[in-house]
Amino acid sequence: MSTRHDHEHEDPSVHSFILSGRDTVFGYHLAMFGMAEHRYQVVVEYDLPADIVDTYLKDQAERPASWHAVRNTADMVLPPIGEGTVTEYPARLDRVTQTGNGEDRIWEPISGGFTARIRRVLNFRRFGEEPFPPHLSYLLYGAGDEVHIAHRLVKRPHFEQILTLREVPDGVTPDDLANAFEVSIPSVPDDGHDGRPWTSRPLPERNYPALLHRGKAAPVPITLAPDDERWWNITTLNA
Rounded to whole angstroms, the Cα distance separating 9 from 89 reads: 21
Q: DSSP of 93-135, one letter per residue?
A: EEEEEEETTTTEEEEEE-S--EEEEEEEEEEEEE--SPPPPSE
Alpha-carbon span 18 to 83, nearest angstrom: 21
Instruction: Evaluate whether 34 touches 46 at the Cβ level (below 8 Å).
Output: no
Residue-wise pLDDT for 55-95, tens only, equals 999 999 999 989 999 999 999 999 999 999 999 999 999 99
Residues 204-217: tens digit of each pLDDT: 999 999 999 998 88
Q: How far apart are CA 87 and CA 121, in angstroms?
A: 9
Asked if residues 95 and 110 have their Cβ atoms less than 8 Å apart, the reply is yes
Helix (H, G, I), strand (E, B) or coil at 192: coil
- Determine the pLDDT at residue 199: 81
- Give the model's pLDDT for residue 2: 42
- Mean pLDDT, the chain, rounded, equals 92
Please, what's the b/e burial string for 185-223 (b: 16 or more CB within 10 A of its CB; e: otherwise)? beeeebebeeeeebeeeebeeeebebbbbeeeeeebebe
Predicted local distance difference test score (pLDDT) of residue 187? 94
Confidence of residue 105 (pLDDT cuts 50, 70, 90): confident
What pLDDT, on the 0 to 100 scale, is given for residue 191?
76
pLDDT for the residue 3: 42
Q: What is the C-alpha separation between 12 and 10, in angstroms, rounded?
A: 6
C-alpha neighbours within 13 Å on the C-beta side of residue 211: 14
CA dihedral 179, 180, 185, 188 (to 10 degrees): -160
Give the confidence band of 201 by pLDDT, cuts at 50, 70, 90. Answer: confident
The yes-or-no verdict on residue 176 having pLDDT over 90 is: yes
> Measured between alpha carbons, how far is residue 205 from residues 40, 135, 184, 233 in Å?
29, 16, 15, 20
- Distance CA(76)–CA(51), nearest Å, equals 24
Look up residue 42 and give its DSSP letter. E
In angstroms, the CA 39 to CA 190 distance is 20
Q: pTM for the complete prediction? A: 0.93
Whether 148 has a pLDDT exceeding 50, the answer reads: yes
